[in-house]
Structure 1
Amino acid sequence: MLWTIIGILLVLWILGLIVKVGGALIHILLVAAVIIFIINLVTGRKKTG
Structure 2
Amino acid sequence: MDISTMRSLATVASLACFLGIWFWAFRRKNKTRFEEAAQLPFLED
Q: Give the helix-richer structure, 1 or 2.
A: 2
- The structure showing larger relative contact order (alpha-carbon pairs under 8 Å, at least 6 residues apart) is 1
Larger Rg: 2
TM-score by length of 1: 0.46
